[in-house]
Structure 1
Amino acid sequence: MEYQIHPHPHPVRGPYALHMSKRRLVALVLAVVLFTGAIGVRFVLLPSLLKLPADLDASIELTGTASLVDQAAIRSFDVRNLIREDVPVTIVNNVKVVSTQDGDAVIANRSTVTGPDNAVLSDTTRNWSINRRTFAAAPVPPGSGAQPHEGLVAGFPLDVQARDYPFWDFATQTVAQARYVGTEKIGDRTAYRFNIKASGPVKDPDILKMMPPGVPLTLTASSDATYWVDASTANVLDVNQRQDVEAVLALGSFTVPLGSVFSLEAHFAPETASDLRAAAAAQERGVFLLSTVIPVGLGLLAMAFGLITAWPALRRLRRPSARPMPRVSFQPPPGS
């Protein structure tokens, strides 16, 4: 007599097995969602944030001194007091996005210079059309009032590098080089140092209209500015700038040099520079979260849920291959 054991041809599937299948399906869906989220944060959300915000409206304050023509002295023919020397001034630069189109933006750059007793010495606004990521010049939209220009006018690109950049000098309306001159520590921040020098005949209408009308003056402007730009965020951490405008009076065939009719020296106040360093540090932490921490975290969770989905298949791969069942024979004892 022989006895042989045969396995059941079909595995038994009960409620527990069905429940496990649902769990694996949910894990698979979660893995896909988390992986997609990691890709979206790193390659969609982060690039969308690393450009000029569409709702930007920011102001920054500089302090310094200025020497300038006293309009009251001109009206009273007070030649001895025509130039006011070393007047303490405050400069507020405001940058506001006026409109956006595709990857470009039109910004209004307003500069207000006030003297003692909050007297407004100058108040000018210039519109520029720039690329929201590189800050380079963009085509001027019709009716925007933006001035044509070349190079940078509103800071440095967000992926700032240790190299030279073309910069627009609005006074002479020419391109000057923002020359990289070294890397330095500003507080606890690493900064690239750039120096910009420009000179030439004044062509900016906002400067020309400050001169007394009807007087045959030829103006020449020169500027020397140093910027310390955060190496990680491209925020300007500090600035020292000087601008001079010299005039020559034409009297028939003679010219009379009048010397400087306007000069300005300005820099960030210590508390402003401190606030800018803190803002750069906070921005760097936010970029690190979006570029590394959150995508890696979501990716690891996606891998964990993917492992849950693939675990049964992995277990089957690790099991030894099935061997044929041995044949069991029963022999009755002799004489039975």
Structure 2
Amino acid sequence: MGSHVFAASVQRLLEYAPHLPNEYTKERSMLVRRSSKILVALGVAFIALAALLRFVLVPSLSKLPGDLDVNPVYEGTGTLLNAQALQAGDIPNVIASGVPVTINRHIYVSSTDGDTAVAHDDVTLEVAGQAVPSNHTYAVDRKTMDAATGQPQDGVEPHSGMTIALPLHPDPSASYRYYDSATKTTVPMTYVDSGTVSGRDVLNYTVEVKGALSDPAIAGTLPPALPKALVSSLTPLLPPDVQQSLGGALEQLPDPVPFSYTAVNRINLAADQTLGTPIDANLSQQIIANIDVNGRLLPLTPVMSIDTALTDQSIADAAAAAEKTSTQLNLISVIAPLVLLVLGVLALAAGFLRRGPRPAALAPVSHEETPVR
């Protein structure tokens, strides 16, 4: 009896055993297919994220940042009108030469609205113990860095042309124009060549401006008129050709003699090739006093002449800031999308390779009944 039970158990085991590999293979195949779908989905997600980063996020970040706040400093010397000597009639000391000059600029963005930024360029000229502030507010396009389009905003100075920087990746062949706040005119920026400043690749430009002084902050420091007797006493200080042109016309002038002023500016600018921000700059400015003689404007003499350049510390700060920003820009515009693209391609490839051909199921093994003896 016992031998018959054992024989029956063995028989049932032999009949069921062939199905075990098939069940295992089915389960394994399902796991492989599931994992391949996950890999394919991840690959598509990585590639989509790379495209989103490169073509959506990067363009939205490739413009004037809303947190811009820099303080470049220029230093140099100047020749200036000595107002105290002028009032005292101290003619030999009316013009002071070789006076140390400092120009402090505070450039910052106070607000943004889409592609428009409200940018400030607060300039303070410090000379002979006096500070002359000249503050300007512009609405600029955050991508082109030119004047923003649309309705002018309250408190914003109308302008056209570049003010605080060039656009990202400036083009040497482009015809950029510069807005000069002293004359309130727009003039061409002349491309000179490329170079390197503090390890940054730069594009060098020159700007030359000449026009009527229109900045009220600067004009307010200059006398609008002088008594005729004082002007006559200043005549020996004038260049010989001006003295000759003035001649006897002085007697025909009103008393006091009204003055107008002309600003002559020259800027040498080294702009970062990636960001367009100034890395180095020289600024020379002359303010020339004029009088009207029989309807003809006669330039008399410069009452202010300054020659300044960015300090070494300002150049180093500008280069360091440009290096940091360009590294971040390169990370999000090139490296991150490329890494995501490679990961996506690898995930897709792994997913399709794992799918492969489905393994054939093992055929069940038939067993003939063996009589038990």
8 Å CA contact 1:151, 1:175 repeated in 2: yes
Aligned match of 1:261:
303
Paired residues for 1:135-150 under 5 Å: 135-139=145-149, 141-150=151-160
- Cα deviation, 1:37-64, whole Å, max 9, x if unaligned, reads 2112222222222211112222111111
8 Å CA contact 1:127, 1:146 repeated in 2: yes
* TM-fit CA distance, 1:247: 0.2
Paired residues for 1:1-336 under 5 Å: 14-74=26-86, 76=88, 78-115=90-127, 119-139=129-149, 141-163=151-173, 164-213=175-224, 215=226, 216-250=258-292, 257-313=299-355, 315-316=356-357
* Count of aligned pairs between the two proteins: 308
Question: Which letter maps to 1:283?
Answer: T
Change (3 A) 1:49 1:71: farther
- Secondary structure at the counterpart of residue 316 of structure 1: coil
8 Å CA contact 1:199, 1:222 repeated in 2: yes
Question: Which letter maps to 1:316?
Answer: P
20-29 or 169-178, which moves further after superposition? 20-29
- Cα deviation, 1:50-79, whole Å, max 9, x if unaligned, reads 211112222111111223334444555544
Higher strand share: 1
Higher helix share: 2
Change (3 A) 1:240 1:31: same
* TM-fit CA distance, 1:131: 0.4
8 Å CA contact 1:247, 1:259 repeated in 2: yes
Task: Please give the alpha-carbon distance, in whole angstroms, between the structure 1 residues aligned to 2:53 and 2:152.
Answer: 35
* TM-fit CA distance, 1:87: 1.6
TM-score w.r.t. the length of structure 2 is 0.74
Aligned match of 1:325:
none
249-258 or 136-145, which moves further after superposition? 249-258
Task: Please give the alpha-carbon distance, in whole angstroms, between the structure 1 residues aligned to 2:154 and 2:328.
Answer: 33
Gaps in structure 2 of 5+ consecutive residues: 1-18, 227-257, 361-373
* TM-fit CA distance, 1:242: 0.5
Across the aligned residues of Structure 1 and Structure 2, the Cα RMSD in angstroms comes to: 2.8
Change (3 A) 1:71 1:194: same
Q: Larger radius of gyration, structure 1 or 2? A: 2
TM-score w.r.t. the length of structure 1 is 0.81
- Secondary structure at the counterpart of residue 72 of structure 2: strand
* TM-fit CA distance, 1:180: 0.5
* TM-fit CA distance, 1:229: 1.5
* TM-fit CA distance, 1:268: 1.5
Change (3 A) 1:72 1:201: same
* TM-fit CA distance, 1:142: 4.7
Gaps in structure 1 of 5+ consecutive residues: 1-7, 323-336
* TM-fit CA distance, 1:141: 4.7
* TM-fit CA distance, 1:171: 1.8
- Secondary structure at the counterpart of residue 265 of structure 1: strand
Task: Please give the alpha-carbon distance, in whole angstroms, between the structure 2 residues aligned to 1:37 and 1:232.
Answer: 25
8 Å CA contact 2:141, 2:149 repeated in 1: no
* TM-fit CA distance, 1:82: 3.2
Task: Please give the alpha-carbon distance, in whole angstroms, between the structure 1 residues aligned to 2:172 and 2:37.
Answer: 50
8 Å CA contact 2:32, 2:354 repeated in 1: no
Aligned match of 2:242:
none
Task: Please give the alpha-carbon distance, in whole angstroms, between the structure 2 residues aligned to 1:126 and 1:242.
Answer: 19
Change (3 A) 1:193 1:155: same
- Secondary structure at the counterpart of residue 39 of structure 1: helix
Runs of 4+ in 1 over 6 A off after TM superposition: 251-256
Task: Please give the alpha-carbon distance, in whole angstroms, between the structure 2 residues aligned to 1:84 and 1:252.
Answer: 31
- Cα deviation, 1:4-60, whole Å, max 9, x if unaligned, reads xxxx9xx86744333333322332332232112211222222222221111222211
8 Å CA contact 1:140, 1:147 repeated in 2: no
- Secondary structure at the counterpart of residue 291 of structure 1: helix
* TM-fit CA distance, 1:143: 4.4
* TM-fit CA distance, 1:232: 2.4
Change (3 A) 1:134 1:212: same
8 Å CA contact 2:77, 2:101 repeated in 1: yes
* TM-fit CA distance, 1:140: 6.3
